[in-house]
Amino acid sequence: MNKDKDYETRLKEQLRSMPKIKDERTKEEIYRQIQLQMIEKEEAKQRKKRWFWIPAISAVTCALLVFIVFLSQDRLTQFEQSSSPSASDEAQIRFESQENSIESRDSEESGQMEEASEESDNTTEDSVLQYQLEILPKEKIKKLGLLTTPPQYVVPITISEQKIKEPFSFNKLGDEIDLAVNGLQDIGLKHMTFTKKEQIVVASVQHDFTIEPDTASQQLFDQLMNLIFQPFRVKQIQFDQTNDFIDQINMVDNTYILKGSGTVVYKQYRYNAQASGWLVATKVAQFDSIEKALNEMKKAEPQYHVKSTIPNDAEIKVKQAEDDTLELQIVSAKTGQNQKTVNMIEAIIATAYSFGFQTVQFDIGYEQVGKYDLTKPVQTDQQINVIYR
């Protein structure tokens, strides 16, 4: 305790001995100084706070930028996915591309076929003109028929055997006609053998003879049998055995009655540009007047590879259709000394024959077209689509 009192006493004495310091500042000045110091302290605190928020704000800004970048990338990915085709879309695009390519190729082939057809139709040289009708003795020919592709119509075929002693066999038809190139097919004749006895034909049917027993097949078979045997005045076909198909056709005691093919409209069948042209029997038994049949010949059927045989601009006038003679006048800008006009003449001859006319008198503005002398009536009883062996 004494030590503390001594220290306090000495301190007081030291203070008394110190020189006096007089503060000459007024109260207002002292107040302003104190106020300024307080303001400076407050500003220092604010600066500390601002420096404290800068890192926080920077961190938040960085996080926001990262989020924006991620969101933009995600949206870009979604856009690319939505704009780019999926696997199925790509497959569809490839399929459509292939389909368009096929259509383009088919269109090109069709165009080539038309060009080749036009070139052959406009041929003017007699040595190059092709004929599908010939006058041949019936004892030196063999008749048959083939179906078009698709199987819609019958193409009559005449095999000439004037210079060959060996009889024709249907199994060797491929040696005479390239069936695949020409789009021709057999309904089943190679599985049948026909033997003619006066006005009756005996048909031997092999076990492998099969045809779908539907209405379309029955109609084609009936047309084919009549086209083959009608020129020989055959009235009946006797089958030595039957099967599911033969049982479905018009049979009486294993005998098939031929009623005749009826009227026929002949047009031109050409399967492709490499194929030959063939007269084809269309619209069998559908027309009762030659005028209607002639106008039908102006219509093409491209879905069956069938071309018209009378120009579509043709004006047709039937002058006479009696006494077994058909006399007609045809005016067209497309007729001339060319293959197209030869095809027209031959198709009219074959069509007129199916209507019972024996001759046709043509008035088309030309006296001679190819081998046809048009100054006189042309005989209709001619063989169709002749193949010389």
Q: Can you give the pLDDT of all 389 residues of the chain as single tens digits?
A: 566 677 778 777 777 776 666 666 666 666 666 766 676 666 666 655 554 555 566 666 666 766 665 565 555 455 445 444 444 444 444 444 444 444 444 444 444 444 455 555 666 566 689 999 999 888 788 888 999 999 999 999 998 876 655 666 677 777 789 999 999 999 888 888 888 887 889 988 887 777 777 778 888 988 998 888 888 888 899 888 777 777 777 677 778 888 887 899 999 999 999 999 999 999 999 999 999 999 999 999 999 999 999 999 999 999 988 889 999 999 999 999 999 999 999 999 999 999 999 999 999 999 999 999 999 999 999 999 999 87
Contact 311, 292 (CB under 8 A): no
Residue 111 lies in a domain: no
Pairing of strands 359-363, 325-331: parallel
pLDDT value at position 111?
47
Determine, yes or no, domain membership for 277. yes
Write down the pLDDT at residue 355.
94
Residues 6+ apart with CB under 8 A from 20: none
Ramachandran area for residue 285 (φ above 0: left; ψ -120 to 50: alpha; else beta): left
Judge whether 331 lies within some domain. no
First vs last Cα of the chain: how many Å apart?
159
What are the structure tokens assigned to 108, written together?
A: 């090109």
Interatomic CA distance for residues 155 and 153, integer angstroms? 7
The verdict on residue 54 lying in a domain is: no
Q: For 92-118, give one letter per residue: b (16+ CB within 10 A) or e.
A: eeeeeeeeeeeeeeeeeeeeebeeebe
Does residue 195 fall inside a structural domain? yes
pLDDT of residue 376: 96
Q: Say how far apart CA 303 and CA 20 lie, in whole Å.
A: 133
Sign of CA dihedral 11, 13, 14, 15: positive
Helix H segments across 128-278?
179-182, 215-229, 244-248
Calculate Rg over the CA atoms of the chain: 52
Kindly list the distances between the CA atom of residue 269 and the CA atoms of 256, 281, 309, 334, 369, in Å, as whole numbers in the listed order: 29, 9, 10, 20, 22
Residue 22 falls inside a structural domain: no
Residue 10 located in a structural domain = no
> How confident is the model at residue 308, as a pLDDT?
98
Task: Report the number of secondary-structure helices (H) and strands (E) in the chain.
Answer: 8, 19
pLDDT at 42: 65
The DSSP-derived string for 268-301 is EE--STTSPPEEEEESTT--SSHHHHHHHTT--B
Examine residue 180 and state whether it is found in any structural domain, yes or no: yes
Q: If DSSP codes are grouped into helix, strand and coil, which group holds residue 131?
A: coil
What is the C-alpha to C-alpha distance for residues 341 and 311, in angstroms, rounded to an integer? 9
Q: How many domains does the chain have?
A: 1
The domain of 198 spans 133-310+383-388
pLDDT of residue 22: 61
